[in-house]
Amino acid sequence: MLIIWLLLGSCSDDFLEKNQRTLTMLSGKALISSQDPNPAIHIELGLAGSESFYIASYPAWMVWESMHGKFDNGSVTLNFKVKRSEGQSETATLSGIVILDIDRIGLIGLEVVYGNIGNLPGVGSRIIPLSGSVRDAAMNKASELIAIATQSPDQLWFYKTATGESFTVPLPHSPQCIDFTSDGKAVLVGNTTSTLLQVNVESRSVVRSFPLDCVAFDVVAADNGWCYIAPQGNEKVTLRSLNLTTGELVTSKESWSVLLYGNCMIRKVPGKPLLLGTRLQLGPTGILLFDISRGAANDTINYWHKDLGNFWVFSDGTRFISGQGIIYGVPSYIANQYNTPDPMEMGAIQLNYFNVYDMAFSEAKNSFYVASYDNWQSGGNTENRYVITRYHAGNYSRLSRFEPSLTALNEGGELVLAYNMVRYLFVNDDGSRLYGIRRLAPGFGAENWSIEEFDIL
């Protein structure tokens, strides 16, 4: 209920001028999370003994259970509710000074900060700290298992969302990209070396290492016994197809120049023998379509000269959405055709900014979720605030939003409430819970990673 930060408070309140009395401020600040259904301030002040007190001054947003009380062996808990003024955002951080008039002692003040703070004792059960630097993450909905690849330490961290159990698998190389196999029994790991690892979930160990002729930037596991690797680099490259049973590695022989380029993003199209891709280092990034109906990818790539940026494929396999919020129909693959008519635009979502970090789709709720940042007004000032927005999967309307909780930091003896950006986003199979893998906003200069859980109504 109370965290003491080693800070010296100050006060120049009208109350003091009117009463001409000296105020003694307690050091530190009382931090209270809006996630706490019963907010309270607990004060330990040994010299107060069993003295009576009343609350002489307080912020207008605090409504007290009682204005009077009595210390018990120098200890007291002040219970209150929060009343926001009309038009005030439910997520705005509130602050102010509470002054107690204590018999025989006088005026004692304490600075209070109330907001969506996630790392306070008693309210942080929905936030799990992560070790290392997160490089990639994936979820298998059927098993309700999230896998997170980290460097320093090099490992896979697994989290069972249904039970809260977690475990780690050490890796012999530094991971860069991962994907679950279609049956959810294994995770494929592309590394900073020219190898691909297969990690068995049940045995919690690396069971196979496949040699590659490139370093994997992205990897996709299909339901046909093959996986597909987009190489790392800053030059023309070709897609690799790896047979997970035999270890056969096939290099595509696409003849058109510069269609595939280093650091290409690829994604599986659910229910279809297709991969979609885009080239993150070129402009326009382009839309690439690969046929994988025969196992190894077809040598011919369908290409559309459009700026896609990051993109995500809907669970029904009929649509995909760009980082700009434009929704396209998944085109049919046509062998040996180049720049066929553009994929049909099927709609768009309203985004304040095009900086989308990740999306997650829920068939159970007929919704999808977008992790991005938003323009937010606080005291007349515009701030970039990271948000998760829920959209209807049919008409693309906004339904609700979630905000990652703040992280309280003590930087050089000063309290800082740090924003968190959600970099990876997942929703469980029945659509009841959302999981955001987040890090401190880059402006804070630290890779502090954690996973936060949100309930979906």
- Each residue's pLDDT tens digit, 192-201: 999 999 999 9
Query: What is the pLDDT at residue 212?
Result: 97
**How far is the C-alpha of 219 from the C-alpha of 234, rounded, in Å?**
17
pLDDT higher than 70, residue 121: yes
Average pLDDT, the chain: 89
Query: What is the pLDDT at residue 396?
Result: 96
The type of residue at 180 is F
| pLDDT band at residue 18 under the 50/70/90 scheme | low
CB 388 within 8 A of CB 369: yes
Q: Which residue did the predictor score with more confidence, 290 or 122?
A: 290
Of 272, 283, 338, nearest to 309 (Cα)? 283
- Kindly give, in sequence order, each residue whose CB lies less than 8 Å from that of residue 429, ignoring residues fewer than 6 positions away: 141, 142, 144, 364
Of 245, 252, 249, 292, nearest to 268 (Cα)? 292
> Could you give the angle at the alpha carbon of 414 between the alpha carbons of 412 and 415, nearest 5°?
130
Domain 14-115 has what CATH class?
Answer: mainly beta
For the chain, give every domain's residue range: 14-115, 349-457
Q: Stretch 236-263: mean pLDDT, rounded?
A: 87
Q: Stretch 337-352: mean pLDDT, rounded?
A: 82
Sign of the Cα pseudo-torsion (236, 238, 239, 243, in order): negative
Query: What is the pLDDT at residue 414?
Result: 78
CB 185 within 8 A of CB 198: no
Q: Specify the long-range contacts of residues 92-95, CB closer than 8 Å, at least 24 apart.
A: 92/378, 93/378, 93/406, 93/417, 94/59, 94/61, 95/59
**How far is the C-alpha of 186 from the C-alpha of 163, rounded, in Å?**
19
Q: Mean pLDDT highest for which of 12-16, 152-156, 437-441?
A: 152-156
Beta-strand ranges (E) seen in 300-355 are 302-304, 311-313, 319-322, 326-329, 345-348
**How far is the C-alpha of 65 from the C-alpha of 82, rounded, in Å?**
11
**How far is the C-alpha of 9 from the C-alpha of 440, rounded, in Å?**
26
CB 221 within 8 A of CB 179: yes
**How far is the C-alpha of 419 from the C-alpha of 61, rounded, in Å?**
23
| pLDDT band at residue 255 under the 50/70/90 scheme | low
Q: Stretch 17-35: mean pLDDT, rounded?
A: 83
The DSSP bridge pattern shows strands 216-221 and 226-231 to be antiparallel
Beta-strand ranges (E) seen in 248-295 are 249-251, 264-268, 274-279, 287-291
The DSSP bridge pattern shows strands 23-33 and 106-115 to be parallel
| pLDDT band at residue 338 under the 50/70/90 scheme | low
**What count of Cα atoms within 13 Å lies in the side-chain half-sphere of residue 213?**
12
| pLDDT band at residue 8 under the 50/70/90 scheme | very low
Percent over 70 (pLDDT), the chain: 90
Strand partners of residue 402: 388
Q: Stretch 433-454: mean pLDDT, rounded?
A: 91
Cα 337 to chain centroid distance, Å, stands at 39
Question: Would the pTM of this model clear 0.75, i.e. be above it?
Answer: yes
| pLDDT band at residue 10 under the 50/70/90 scheme | very low
| pLDDT band at residue 20 under the 50/70/90 scheme | low
Query: What is the pLDDT at residue 124?
Result: 60
pLDDT higher than 70, residue 15: no
Q: Stretch 71-90: mean pLDDT, rounded?
A: 90
| pLDDT band at residue 259 under the 50/70/90 scheme | confident
Query: What is the pLDDT at residue 254?
Result: 72
The DSSP bridge pattern shows strands 367-378 and 68-70 to be unpaired
Query: What is the pLDDT at residue 220?
Result: 98
DSSP class of residue 173 equals: S
Q: Which residue did the predictor score with more confidence, 121 or 262?
A: 262
**How far is the C-alpha of 62 from the C-alpha of 84, rounded, in Å?**
9
